[in-house]
Amino acid sequence: MKMICTPKRKSVRLQYIWLFTFLLLIASIAFAQGSGKSKRAQLYEKFRGIAKEMEEAYDNGDLKRVIDLYNKYCRKDKNARAGEEKKEFKKVKKEIRTNIYQCVALSYNELDNPEIADIYIRRLLVLRRREDTGDYWWSLRDTAKDKYYVAPRLLVGVKLGTNFTIAKSFNSYSIFEPVYETGEDNYEKKYDFHFNHSRGTQLGIIVEYALSKNLSIYIQPVLSMLKFQYKDSQYIEHSVQMEENNLDSFTRDSTSRQTLHYIEIPLLLKYQLGRAKLKPYLQIGGFLSIMRSAYKMMSIKITEVIGQYQGSSTTLIEDIPIKDHITRSRSGFCLGAGIDYDAGDLRLGIEINYKHLLGNIVNKDHRFDKDILLGYYDVFDDITIRNVEISLKVLLPISFKAFRR
């Protein structure tokens, strides 16, 4: 009798295969974790024994033995510079490394080699920033604190704030041109600054790296929204011959509010002016702005006068896409200042920056595109923008370094 494997049986078999594979994967992960913990425990136990042997050698006055033990088990190799260490030693718990560094630093001091001792003293300061590090630490602490102070070397965090944009035209363009001189410049746009329609926002991350005790470099990728507004007015008048001469006029007043969304990538140099908890600083650098999206909102009021009759209407148009009318990327420079505050394990701060985008933000190739030209009788001038941003920051120190005072 011939057996036929139905689709249902195939499905059941496939389920069993998947279940078996999943259980095998779980078992492998559990075994690997258990094996890793076991190896780590063996590593810790090994270096606890080495630290204890160093302490006994130091107590017995055998300083050379202390150095030999460190060179044998912790130093990278015999030709490595002082402080270059094996990878397995770097994986050891802080408390074990601290006990070893204490013995090594004290031994080099008593062997009249303070320069090498300082290498391990700085590491002690970084490993135990706030707490006692053992019986030997008190004999080193006062000397160490007089020579060094511990500060964050690498910090990461976030920033959030508001900005105010100032737009300026350096070449004007208009669809309408006067047919005779009116004595007034009715065809140039008016760029007015007001907090309500020039206020944007920014949100980003911060990565800061200390180069020295006062100087650091950091990058602040942010998502920024910039806004600016201009007004445009066209006034046309002409005579219509009827039973008598009547002066007719047509006035078109428009307000355009632009909203630009950028990815900004600033690279800044920061100079810190103090080392107390409150740390004022200055910063300077450049940035690249990459356009994400751009829209405009227009309010158009038309007033017509025909003889003795006058009428007006207002139209509001929102979310007009203008991404093609704005250059895709621009560079600029940044100047700023701020204050940081060390609050336990966090660094809080507030800063103010002045940013200037270089060159014209308008894409000349699309200035007279029909969508804006014919749809709304609007064309962009050549425009430069500047903005002032105010931000709050929260930073988390990732690593520390002992800097010489």
Residue 371 has pLDDT above 50, yes or no: yes
Tell me, yes or no, whether 212 and 342 share the same domain: yes
Tell me, yes or no, whether 260 and 383 share the same domain: yes
Strand 278-306 vs strand 329-343: parallel, antiparallel, or unpaired? antiparallel
Taking only the tens place, the pLDDT of each residue in 93-119 is 888 888 888 888 888 888 888 888 888
Residue 1 has pLDDT above 70, yes or no: no
Residue 295 has pLDDT above 70, yes or no: yes
Residue 377 identity: Y
The pLDDT assigned to 373 comes to: 58
Two tokens at 263?
Answer: 């990815």
Tell me, yes or no, whether 122 and 175 share the same domain: no
Tell me, yes or no, whether 234 and 116 share the same domain: no
By C-alpha distance, which of 69, 67, 79, 64 is closest to 47? 69
Residue 89 lies in a domain: yes
Tell me, yes or no, whether 272 and 205 share the same domain: yes
The pLDDT assigned to 111 comes to: 86
Residue 132 has pLDDT above 50, yes or no: no
User: 141-162: string of b/e by CB count within 10 Å (b at 16+)?
Assistant: beebeeebebbbbbbebbbebe
Taking only the tens place, the pLDDT of each residue in 314-358 is 778 888 888 888 999 999 999 999 999 988 889 999 999 999 999
Residue 400 identity: F
SS (H, E, C) 312-356: EEEEEEEEEECHHHECCEEEEEEEEEEEEEEECCEEEEEEEEEEE
Tell me, yes or no, whether 166 and 123 share the same domain: no
Residue 158 lies in a domain: yes
Residue 314 lies in a domain: yes
Tell me, yes or no, whether 355 and 394 share the same domain: yes
Tell me, yes or no, whether 226 and 106 share the same domain: no
Report the Cα–Cα distance between both ends of the chain, in Å, rounded: 92
Residue 12 lies in a domain: no
Tell me, yes or no, whether 123 and 156 share the same domain: no
Which residue in this structure is represented by tokens 């080495």? Answer: 50
Tell me, yes or no, whether 344 and 386 share the same domain: yes
Instruction: State how many domains the chain has.
Output: 2
Tell me, yes or no, whether 122 and 162 share the same domain: no
Cβ neighbours around 50 below 10 Å, total:
21
Task: Specify the higher pLDDT residue, 80 or 75.
Answer: 75
Residue 102 lies in a domain: yes
Residue 386 has pLDDT above 80, yes or no: yes
Residue 199 has pLDDT above 90, yes or no: yes
Domain range for 160: 152-404
Task: Specify the higher pLDDT residue, 173 or 157.
Answer: 157
Residue 228 lies in a domain: yes
Residue 286 has pLDDT above 90, yes or no: yes
The pLDDT assigned to 380 comes to: 86
Which CATH number goes with the domain that contains 272? 2.40.160.20
